[in-house]
Structure 1
Amino acid sequence: MSQLLADIVEQVQHDYHAAMMTSGGENALRIAMELCNHHLYLEIDKLALVVAEDPTLLATRPGGMIADAEEAANPSVGMIICVNLAAGMLEALIGIAAEQGWLKPDAEGHLSEEVHQQLDEVIAPVVDYSDSELAKQNMQKPGRSELTKVMALAESVYQERLATEAADAYNLALEVASEYSVFAPDDIAPLVAENPLLLGLRADGMVEDEIFEGDPPAGLVISAHLTDMVMSQLMDYAVEQGALALDSSGQPIMQLSDKAPPLH
């Protein structure tokens, strides 16, 4: 766990004890939910810093936990991570409540219907990840960004191989884009720290549902978009060099080889 996240967890636990003392031990689950919603659905720049400190968060999946139906159908990377943070914190608070006798499960360990009704009354927030002050600041810094470096390296390799190999331009682009895509959480986290707007990306049908059953890891959503960006850049270069023909609508004419590596 990152130090920033550890500090948040400690604050929530402190606030929970204080709130339960004020309530006289009543509404334990509702208060826990409200605190989790308030503290764990982080704004974009703060969440980017948490991810930078703990890249394993990029392996989290929606898991059917997002309450908002529209958001659940195509969740942002940030929402996937935050709903998992909130769920983990809620579990910890429920443990505290059980130890203190604020929640009393039945003999089978189930909570009463009245307690579950408290849960239904608390609506989790949907955070907007479309604007980032940190991203704006970093864009103004001199030099190339980490993402630009990745894309420049991929294009350099593609240029060299396209000039020296007898290969289909499209399938070669697929191969190079796949080789230079960023998949590991430890590699994605610095890109998120530099550009928190990556937390606003959504699967948008770019991730194979058959592989992940509609429940892709947060980091893979970012990877899919980065791969698509690299692929688009390589295709533009191929068209400029005349290595790819265009159809009547101005789109590249592509012949996908059976041996071409998958994008996602």
Structure 2
Amino acid sequence: MSQLLTDILEDVRKEYLQRMDANNFSQPFLTAEKLCHEKLYLATDLLADIVNEDPTLLATRASDLIADSRERDNPAVGAIISSNIVMAALESLLGLAVANGWLDVDDDGHILVEDAELDPSRNYPVTADYSRSDAATKNLSKRGPSLLTTIFQAAENEFLELLETEVHEAYQLALQVSGNYAIFAPEDIAPLIVENPLLLGLRPDDMVDEELFEGDPPAGIIISGHLTHILLDQLLELAESKGALGKDGAGHIILPEGDGDNPIVH
């Protein structure tokens, strides 16, 4: 686990004990639930550093964990990761409540919570704005190519070499090269996130195969899908600039018949 996240969760644990003491040890579940949602929708740049320390967080999925109705249908990657951190922290605090005798468990080991504390429709807003990042502004203004630019430049160079001998297959070549340079592994995506934390603001946007991921893609795959589409678009623009593809009257690149829709990530 990320050391940054470990320290944050320890602070949350201490505050939980303080709040329970102040509440005369009442409402242990509701106190934990509120605290986790208040504290653990982490700011963009902080979350990027945590993901860089623990890329496995990119395997998390939204499932039914997001308690903000505005985010639930098309959540930002940052909200997906944070909601999983919230749930893990909540489970830990409930275990602490059991250990202190504030909550009981049944014969099967399930934690028993008073009905008055439970409300499945309770709404907790995502308090972080994953469309803002000071680190991204700072990093992207540095001299020299970014990590992502370096990857895309290598893809463009390979595409141009292939295009010289297979100009009539421009679209298929673009698909092939963008697929070859697709970034799927969490440990490969994490450095891109810490360089540009705004990647945490990306959303599924129907770019990922719903059947493959049952409508609930991992956070990292959402980022990968967007990057693959961006690269594909750049390669198609490059092909058009070389005369391998044309544009219609509206300025849209003309694709081979039957290929009008952008592919989705499988």
Report Cα offsets for 1:114-155 as digits up to 9, x if no partner. 2214x7656243421111100111012111100101110110
Gaps of 5+ in 2: none
Partner-residue secondary structure (3-state), 2:71: helix
The answer to whether the Cα contact below 8 Å between 1:105 and 1:112 also exists between their aligned partners in 2 is no
The answer to whether the Cα contact below 8 Å between 1:78 and 1:199 also exists between their aligned partners in 2 is yes
Partner-residue secondary structure (3-state), 2:205: coil
Further displaced range: 23-32 or 242-251: 242-251
The answer to whether the Cα contact below 8 Å between 2:67 and 2:123 also exists between their aligned partners in 1 is no
Which residue of 2 is the match for residue 115 of structure 1? 117
Residue 149 in structure 1 maps to residue 150 in structure 2: yes
Residue 50 in structure 1 maps to residue 27 in structure 2: no
Q: How does the TM-score come out when normalised to structure 1?
A: 0.92
Partner-residue secondary structure (3-state), 2:102: coil
| Alpha-carbon distance between aligned partners in 1 of 2:159 and 2:258, rounded to the nearest angstrom | 17
4+ long deviations beyond 3 Å = 105-110, 119-122
| CA gap 1:89/1:249 in 2 versus in 1, 3 angstroms | same
The answer to whether the Cα contact below 8 Å between 1:238 and 1:244 also exists between their aligned partners in 2 is yes
Q: Which amino acid aligns with 2:98?
A: A
Q: Which amino acid aligns with 1:44?
A: T
Q: Which amino acid aligns with 2:82?
A: C
RMSD: 2.0
Residue 197 in structure 1 maps to residue 210 in structure 2: no
Q: For 1:1-264, what aligned pairs fall within 5 Å after superposition?
A: 1-106=1-106, 109=110, 110-117=112-119, 123-165=124-166, 168-255=169-256, 263-264=264-265
| CA gap 1:57/1:2 in 2 versus in 1, 3 angstroms | same
Q: CA deviation at 1:216?
A: 0.6
Partner-residue secondary structure (3-state), 1:205: coil
| Larger relative helix fraction | 1
Q: Which amino acid aligns with 2:29?
A: L
The answer to whether the Cα contact below 8 Å between 2:167 and 2:244 also exists between their aligned partners in 1 is no
Q: CA deviation at 1:249?
A: 2.5
The answer to whether the Cα contact below 8 Å between 1:44 and 1:199 also exists between their aligned partners in 2 is yes
Q: CA deviation at 1:64?
A: 1.3
| Alpha-carbon distance between aligned partners in 2 of 1:96 and 1:42, rounded to the nearest angstrom | 22
State, as a whole percentage, how many aligned pairs show the same letter.
46
| CA gap 1:256/1:80 in 2 versus in 1, 3 angstroms | farther
| Alpha-carbon distance between aligned partners in 1 of 2:59 and 2:13, rounded to the nearest angstrom | 25
Q: CA deviation at 1:226?
A: 0.3
| CA gap 1:46/1:2 in 2 versus in 1, 3 angstroms | same
| Alpha-carbon distance between aligned partners in 2 of 1:88 and 1:146, rounded to the nearest angstrom | 32
Q: How does the TM-score come out when normalised to structure 2?
A: 0.92
The answer to whether the Cα contact below 8 Å between 2:45 and 2:135 also exists between their aligned partners in 1 is yes
| Alpha-carbon distance between aligned partners in 1 of 2:68 and 2:95, rounded to the nearest angstrom | 26
Further displaced range: 170-179 or 98-107: 98-107
Say how many residue pairs are matched.
261
Report Cα offsets for 1:78-116 as digits up to 9, x if no partner. 000000000000000001101111113455634221221
The answer to whether the Cα contact below 8 Å between 2:183 and 2:189 also exists between their aligned partners in 1 is yes
Further displaced range: 158-167 or 181-190: 158-167
Q: CA deviation at 1:188?
A: 0.4
Q: CA deviation at 1:164?
A: 2.7
| Alpha-carbon distance between aligned partners in 2 of 1:257 and 1:189, rounded to the nearest angstrom | 35
Gaps of 5+ in 1: none
| Alpha-carbon distance between aligned partners in 2 of 1:12 and 1:255, rounded to the nearest angstrom | 55
| Alpha-carbon distance between aligned partners in 2 of 1:10 and 1:27, rounded to the nearest angstrom | 21
Partner-residue secondary structure (3-state), 2:70: helix
The answer to whether the Cα contact below 8 Å between 2:44 and 2:197 also exists between their aligned partners in 1 is yes
